[in-house]
Amino acid sequence: MRFLLWILLAIFIAALFALVVETGGTTSGLSQIDMSSPTLKIALAAFVGILVLALLRERFSGAIKSALAWIAIVLLLAIGYTYRFEARGVADRVLAELMPGHAAGRGRVVEIARGRSGSFAVTAQLNGAPISMVLDTGASSVVLTPEAAKAAGLPIEVLSYTVTVDTANGRTRAAPVTLDAISVGGIVERAIPALIAQRGQLRTNLLGMSFLNRLESWEVRGDKLVMRGYP
């Protein structure tokens, strides 16, 4: 900053010297200065510059830093907006690896990473309520615990347990219901038949074939479950 001030001061002195030479180097000549003279304009500009920098020299560096910071923020926002869809896809895939059950993908194609237990945990929305489930291709229907059914807004107090089902704890009965909607990521299927297990008979909610059969396709690729819904 001081170096810049010295440069401007030298320019000012040089301009004044040139002005004196132009006017013959006398006091009378100075009184007849042409205000449109380029030399005079340079001298005045240098003088104003010195005054402004002298007044703002303490704040100048701070102002430059603030300006550069704002430019960087604007550039980052512009880049983020331009690549927002790609960034969202990357974030979904990272979350899918770190959070079992998180559905990654775009639109009607969803990928879910295999959990540590070897099964595919799925966080689905049942009638708008988030419910943790496990993919079970051996289950002919979606099967819910009473707690999950209550969270999904089903009237568990008036259910009729009329369907015989086989579970890990043996044969039991379940109540048939129809779910308004099941969504996994961007896939949404409506009017899905489901069963509600009796209390204490089921520890994990099962995402069975009554949902999977509604999809265009589904497959397991290594440690990834890929589901595609119809357009």
One-letter amino acid at 192 equals I
The model's pLDDT over 149-206, given as tens digits with 9 standing for 90+, comes to 999 999 999 999 999 887 666 788 999 999 999 999 889 999 999 999 998 888 899 9
Q: What local confidence, expressed as pLDDT, does residue 29 receive? A: 43
For residues 75 and 2, which has the higher predicted lDDT (pLDDT)?
A: 75
Give pLDDT, residue 161.
94
CA distances from 120 to 42, 146, 155 (A): 77, 22, 28
Q: Compute φ and ψ for 191, nearest 5 degrees.
A: 55, 60
Angstrom CA distances, 24 to 20, 27, 124, 128, 163, stand at: 6, 9, 92, 91, 116
pLDDT at 33: 47
Confidence (pLDDT) at 200? 86
* pLDDT the model gives residue 107: 78
pLDDT at 104: 74
Nearest Cα to Cα of residue 194 among 154, 121, 133, 144:
144
Specify the pLDDT at position 76.
73
Distances (CA, A) of 45 to 9, 28, 40, 49, 50: 11, 24, 9, 6, 9
CA–CA distance from 218 to each of 111, 215, 229 (Å)?
10, 7, 9
Longest CA–CA separation in the chain, Å? 119
C-alpha 61/C-alpha 37 separation (Å) is: 34
DSSP, res 156: G
Q: Report the 10 Å Cβ neighbour count for 110.
A: 24
Is pLDDT at 72 greater than 90 in this prediction? no
Instruction: Lowest mean pLDDT of 41-50, 188-197, 213-222, name the range.
Output: 41-50
Cβ(101)–Cβ(121) under 8 Å?
A: yes
211-229 average pLDDT score: 93
- pTM of the entire predicted model: 0.58
CA 47 to chain centre: 51
Give the mean pLDDT of 90-114.
Answer: 69
For position 28, what pLDDT does the model report?
44
pLDDT at position 170, please?
73
Averaged pLDDT of the chain: 76
- Whether the CB-CB separation of 80 and 87 falls below 8 Å is answered with yes
At a CB cut-off of 8 Å and minimum separation 6, what does 181 contact? Answer: 125, 126, 127, 128, 188, 189, 190, 192
25 pLDDT more than 50: no
Per DSSP, the three-state class of 58 is: helix
| CATH 2.40.70.10 residue spans of the chain | 86-228
User: 83 vs 87, 92, 94, CA distance in Å?
Assistant: 6, 14, 17
Task: Examine the pLDDT at 211 and tell me if it is beyond 90.
Answer: yes
CATH hierarchy code of domain 86-228: 2.40.70.10
The mean per-residue pLDDT over the stretch 98-103 comes to 61
